[in-house]
Amino acid sequence: MTSKRAYLVVLVLSLGATVAQAEQAKAPRAHFFYWENDVLVGTDQDYTNGLRYATVRLGVEEPPWWARRLARRFDLCGEGAKPDKCFTINKGFAVTHTIYTPEDISDPELIVDDRPYGAWLHYASIFELRSSFSLHHFEADIGIVGPLAFGEEVQTAVHKLTGSQEPMGWDHQIDNELGLLLLYQWRRRIPALELWSRDESVRLFDVTPDLTGTLGNVFTYAGAGLTLRLGYNLSEAFPGKIEPTVMEVAGRKKWEIYVFAATEGRAVARNIFLDGNTFKDSHSVDKETLVYDWEVGLVARYGRFAISYRHVTRSPEFTLQEEPQTYGSVSLNFYPD
């Protein structure tokens, strides 16, 4: 049974990746690896683990097939375009796996006053339009929620490896369901608030507001946030998150280092990991409509390699959750020449 489940998942994800690779043959490629886990801050509950690999082609000529009409609405860079106002195209794909659990994973019984167990394994087609100061990020995601996402197997294997408590309640996880998601995020640095070195060759500080919207049976929400960066030699990158991921395109200066602080508020209409399955009855809890994230972090880049760490605090996501959640996030990025 497990082998059949694995075959179906691998087939869906490999078909998506094959199409993406066929569309992206020549442009330079960047690679991004993300890991988020609450073990980095000493807990093991709620959003407990996230893994994501993403790759993106920079400055391609054609968007993905599903975004071609959308791209025509923007002034694309090319002959006769104004360099400070036109947009370049980035496109790529990502594979992501996330796990959610209640607080007490040692209890094999259904915990009615805590969130259900759940996992999501999904493929994302990524499309970006980027100018000197702004970023429009689009994703079309397809994947699996439920036992086919292998949340139980992944968490059990990791806990055995680390000698942690074996999770006992996965029999009560959300059932299998096809997951579909559309995501949009807009980010724009505010030039008037930037600080530069005396010779204006090195950026030292900037401010970036953002807007986010998702639509689908897994998540539906609208959000707004703000990021402050302070450091040395800030490139034109936007700090990345696993949900959603904003692909970074680093500047070509030799090195940079900075700290950042960010916040985001979301109005949540749908969260399958709290609301339960869409088309059948399953365990659920009453979610909070408004959820907030606060985070601080550090990014360092030398040449083509970058590493970052984020410490995230999230307000309670459902009414019976007593305390905010915290988790850590590590990313490793590799940029082309």
pLDDT tens-place values along the chain, 337 residues long: 454 554 455 445 545 554 444 444 567 888 999 998 877 776 666 788 999 999 999 888 888 888 888 888 888 887 667 767 789 899 999 999 999 999 999 999 999 999 999 999 999 999 999 888 899 999 999 999 999 999 999 999 988 888 888 999 999 999 999 999 999 999 999 999 999 999 888 999 999 999 999 999 999 999 999 999 999 999 887 766 665 544 454 445 688 999 999 999 999 999 999 999 999 999 999 999 999 999 999 999 998 899 999 999 999 999 999 899 999 999 998 887 6
Neighbours of 289 (CB within 10 A): 10
* Type of residue at 232: Y
What pLDDT, on the 0 to 100 scale, is given for residue 303? 86
Q: What three-state secondary structure class fits 38?
A: helix
Structure tokens at 130: 């980027």
User: Given this model, what pLDDT does residue 63 score?
Assistant: 86
**Could you give the domains of the chain?**
2-334 (2.40.128.140)
For the record, the structure tokens of 209 come out as 């507001």
CB proximity list for 35: less than 8 A, separation 6 or greater: 50, 51, 329, 330, 331
pLDDT score, position 241? 67
Four-CA torsion 290, 143, 210, 40, nearest 10 degrees:
70
Q: The whole model's pTM is what? A: 0.88
Residue showing tokens 């694995």: 6
CA nearest neighbour of 157 among 148, 147, 167, 170: 167
**Tokens at 112, concatenated:** 């009615």
Residue 18: count other Cβ atoms within 10 Å of its Cβ: 11
